[in-house]
Copies of this chain bind each other. A is one copy, B any other.
Amino acid sequence: MSSAIDILVSEVGPRDGLQSVKRAMPTADKKRWISALAAAGLQEIEVGSFVSPKALPQMADTAEIVQHAISIPGLRVAALVPNLKYARLALEAGAHLITIPVSVSEPHSISNIRMTHPQIIAEVKAIVALRNEAYPQVKIDTGLSTAFGCTIQGIVPEADTVRMAVTMAEAGVDAVNLSDTVGYANPAQVKRLFTKVRAEIGDKTGGAHLHNTRGQGLANVVAALDVGVTTFDSSQGGIGGCPYAPGASGNIVTEDLVFLLESMGLNTGIDIEALIDARKILLEALPGEAIYGLVPDAGLPKGFVPARQLALT
């Protein structure tokens, strides 16, 4: 994270969002959108995933998107990969950060990526070995999916999440993020779990990937802030993250998150008006898709002062 900001907002819309949308966003629009997000001050963007183009044709152009994104000065470019084979492509394309989803719930892991825990742990170790050998400057994050509960398994014991975080840290990843994949988390649990994970893996404790499926996304952000979390994933317009119903966004909405943080006096480095402007690209490029966010509709409060200006007064 840049020392100039208090909180890193990591935009996952171009990956998590676009791979949940049935229609593929044209490559030129993806580039234009990523450029606009970076121009609004976003410092880290997960621009796509390297996965089977048969399974997710929306992500078939990810190598080209990474090429574009790494040409933007100051932007940290992340790409998601499910295994060693695709990690190789991400590394070759020049991603600065690769993220590997690992489900704490083994039934979810098997259902989602058809790998048992021993299999995915072996993949992570192989990816770390490749990075260490040939791409030492690249960072590797794991996102612990279903860290707060699972639609298949139900309750996920906190000890299981802590144990998997330790396993990942020992496997050599740089950061372990906790993901509320299905919108089950509550603020008390968020505080407990980040505290327990930090007690075990210290500075390798990463950010929070929270969903708003049950309207609890920003409430969980407040809890995570209280226990020292400084990186949050979100997506512009709340796209992606398994929405259930009208109004029920999956991912927390970047615009509403940035408003929360900035209004609390936490500098994100993001110009919220420029960020809201970037929605136009999304609306044009994905006609008919549900785009969420209440701050864009309601507008900024009269007299609103962003955090960086508050600090000057």
Q: Chain A: residues with CB nearer than 8 A to chain B?
A: 149-155, 182-184, 186-189, 212-216, 218-219, 221-223, 226, 244-248, 253, 256, 259-260, 263-265, 292-295, 297-298, 301-303
Number of copies: 2
- Residues of B within 8 Å of A297, CB to CB, are 244-248
Are B247 and A294 in contact (CB-based, < 8 A)? Answer: yes
Shortest CB-to-CB span from A142 to chain B, Å, is 23
Q: How far, in Å, is A226 (CB) from chain B's closest CB?
A: 7
Known contacts A219-B221, A226-B226; is A214 also within 8 Å of B256 by CB?
Answer: yes
What's the Cα separation between A245 and B299 when bound, in Å? 11
Question: In the complex, which residue of chain B has the Cβ closest to the Cβ of A155?
Answer: B303
Q: Which one, B153, B212, B303, contacts A294 given CB within 8 A?
A: B212
Query: Which of B152, B187, B245, B253 is within 8 Å of A298, CB to CB?
Result: B245
Interface of A is mostly: loop
- A226-B226, A247-B292, A292-B247 given; A214·B155 CB < 8 A: no
Beyond A219-B221, A222-B219, A301-B149, whether A214 also contacts B294 by CB under 8 A is yes
Residues on B with beta carbons closer than 8 Å to the beta carbon of A226: 226
List B contacts of A151 (CB < 8 A). 301-302
Task: State whether B303 touches A149 (Cβ < 8 A).
Answer: yes
Identity of the chain B residue whose Cβ is nearest the Cβ of A294 in the assembled complex: B215
| Interfacial chain B residues near A216, Cβ < 8 Å | 218, 256, 259-260, 263
| B260, A219: Cβ atoms closer than 8 Å | yes
* Given A186-B260, A214-B298, A218-B218, 4 additional A-B pairs, CB 8 A: A155-B303, A187-B264, A215-B295, A219-B222
A187–B223 Cα distance when bound, in Å, is 10
A182 to B188, CA, bound (A): 28
Provide a sorted-by-A list of 24 A–B residue pairs whose CB atoms are within 8 angstroms.
Answer: A149-B302, A149-B303, A151-B302, A154-B302, A183-B298, A186-B264, A189-B263, A212-B294, A213-B298, A214-B256, A214-B294, A215-B253, A215-B293, A215-B295, A216-B256, A218-B219, A219-B219, A219-B221, A222-B223, A226-B226, A244-B294, A244-B297, A245-B298, A248-B298
Residue numbers in B under 8 Å from A260 (CB-CB)? 186-187, 215-216, 219
Q: In the complex, which residues of chain B have a beta carbon less than 8 angstroms from the beta carbon of A264?
A: 186-189
Q: Is the CB of A222 within 8 A of B301?
A: no
Q: A186 — nearest CB in chain B belongs to which residue?
A: B263
Q: Provide the bound-state CA to CA distance between A215 and B221, in Å.
A: 12
Shortest CB distance A99–B (Å): 25
CA distance A153 to B301 in the complex (A): 11
Bound complex: CA A301 to CA B150 (Å): 8
Residues from chain B with Cβ under 8 Å of A214 in the complex = 256, 259, 294-295, 298, 301
Cα distance A274–B46 in the bound complex, in angstroms: 41
